[in-house]
Structures are given as structure tokens and as C-alpha cells.
Amino acid sequence: MADEAHSEGGLSFHPLDQFEVKRLFGEGAIEWYTITNVTMWMAIAVVCIVLLLVIGTSKRAIVPTRTQSVAETLYGFVYTMVEDVTGKDGIKYFPYIFTLFIFILISNFLGLLPMSFTTTSHIAVTAILAFAVFFTVTIIGFVKNGAAFLGLFWVSSAPLPLRPVLAIIEVISYFVRPVSHSIRLAGNLMAGHAVLKVFAGFAQVGLIIAPVAILGVVAIYALEVLVSAIQAYVFTILTCVYLKDALHPSH
């Protein structure tokens, strides 16, 4: 794809280069422990989270400063979400859910910085996040409810002949959850960033196309800001919904 664009001469399109995992130091293969741009941007995310949630709240002000107010708003937002969706007994999983939310949110927004690397646009990252949710929720479901957790797949409100069919559908949909959960996040971010790059590529073209392309970049960027927040929210609320299923499996 990149080569094709290259052969057209002058115009260079590399919309997917931004997603490449690279070594920060030296040459050679990327081992599991290698310090890469993934490491760097995740570390930056951690620093941002610490700045926002730890340094920002260090004054413990009764009347909050701006940063503390943001931290409190995020806390309240996720806390209410967990409480509303999963009920009181889901509150003890709040730190876990908040970790997912804040990591995805900050990573998404960091990915919007020019020249940055978007960790959450990689299926490897989102799949781990989604499967972590999937396994956690399944284990919690069985630990809390025992075999009654399987009642999640047995729709007792449906007519009896339909129940086996519905059970099959429910089982399939249950196992598809982590896939859709991860691909939704990675796909949204990757597509948006790739489209941004494509528009940016067109901005080199000429006097007529360039302004349109730049307007397009601005519009897509605005959309991506929205998508970054919405995808973090969607991932979190789906986690809450799955957790609710595990805690209260009956239909």
C-alpha cells in the first residue's frame, strides 16, 4: 500500500505507519521485554494518570481546584455508572473498572496528539483488556453463583421449546463478547487515525484539494475527540453490564 503510493511519485501515503511498534533504543528484533514506543506511551499514560488523579488531588481541597474537579468528576461518573448498572454489590470491583476506564480514556486522548502512538488502537492491547474482563466476569459468575450462573444461558421467560435454541444463541453471544468488545475499541481508534492520516496525505496535493483536506482533518479530529471519550465510556459500561450478568445471572 505504501509502496503503491510511493510509486505514484511525490505523494507519500503512509496511514498505517503510525501504528508501527518500534524499538526506542538500538536495533534488532522486538522481544517481549524490549522498550518500544508502546512502553513509552503507556508510561506517558501512567504519568498523566498520576498527574491527574494523584498530584491533582494532593491538596484534598473541600472546594476543588480545576484538576481535582476533573478527577472527582471522572470518579463520580464511573462510580455512578458501576452503581447504577451492577448494583451495590458491584461497587467492590469499582477500582478495577476505573483502572480500565482511565487507562483507555487517557490512552485514547494521548493518541490524538500529533506524532503520538495510540496504544489502544492495537488489537493486542484491546484483546487483553477485553479477555481480562471476560475471564474475570466468568470467574466471578461461577464463584458467586456456582452452577446457577449457567442460568444466564437458559432463558426461563421464553416458551420451553425455544429455550434450547436461545441457549445456543446466548452461549455464542457470550463467547463473542470479548471479540466484539476488543475489536470495537481498536477498530474505532485505528480507523479514525488512519482516516486522519489519509486526509493529511491529501493536504500535500495542491491548492484546491489541500484546503478541503485540511478542513477534513479538522472535522475528523473533532470526531475523534468524541470517539475517544465515547469508546472509553462504551468499553466501561459494557464491562459493567457483563459484571452485572455475572452477579445477577437470572433473566
Partner 1 sequence: MADTAVEHGAEAGGAGMPQLDFSTFPNQIFWLLVTLVVVYFILSRVALPRIASVLAERQGTITNDIAAAEELKTRAQEAEAAYDKALVDARAEAAKIVADAKAEIQAELDVEMQKADAEIAAQTAESEKAIAEIQAGAADAVKTVAKDTAKEIVAALGGKADARSITAAINARMKG
User: Which positions touch partner 1 (CB under 8 A)?
Assistant: 1-3, 6, 12, 14, 16-17, 19-21, 29-34, 36, 38-39, 42-43, 45-46, 49-50, 53-54, 57, 60-62, 64, 68, 71-72, 75-76, 94-96, 98-99, 102-103, 119, 121-125, 128-129, 132, 186, 190
Rounded to a whole number of angstroms, the minimum distance from the CB of residue 193 to partner 1 is 11
76 vs 206, which CB is nearer to partner 1? 76
Distance, in Å, from the CA atom of 211 to the CA atom of 37, rounded to the nearest integer, reads 32
Select from 192, 195, 175, 172 the least CA-distant residue to 184.
192
Select from 139, 210, 211, 103 the least CA-distant residue to 111.
103
Q: Which cell numbers in the block locate residue 79?
A: 462510580
Rounded to a whole number of angstroms, the minimum distance from the CB of residue 9 to partner 1 is 13
75 vs 174, which CB is nearer to partner 1? 75
Rounded to a whole number of angstroms, the minimum distance from the CB of residue 132 to partner 1 is 8
Distance, in Å, from the CA atom of 221 to the CA atom of 201, rounded to the nearest integer, reads 14
The amino acid occupying position 241 is V
Q: Which residues contact 125 (CB under 8 A, 6 or more apart)?
A: 38, 119, 186
73 vs 173, which CB is nearer to partner 1? 73
The amino acid occupying position 124 is A
Rounded to a whole number of angstroms, the minimum distance from the CB of residue 224 to partner 1 is 17
69 vs 145, which CB is nearer to partner 1? 69
Rounded to a whole number of angstroms, the minimum distance from the CB of residue 140 to partner 1 is 16
DSSP string, 189-209: HHHHHHHHHHHHHHTTS-TTH
The amino acid occupying position 93 is Y
54 vs 226, which CB is nearer to partner 1? 54
Rounded to a whole number of angstroms, the minimum distance from the CB of residue 48 to partner 1 is 10
b (16+ CB within 10 A) / e for 74-99: beeebeebbeebbeeebeebbeebbe
Q: Which cell numbers in the block locate residue 1?
A: 500500500
107 vs 138, which CB is nearer to partner 1? 107
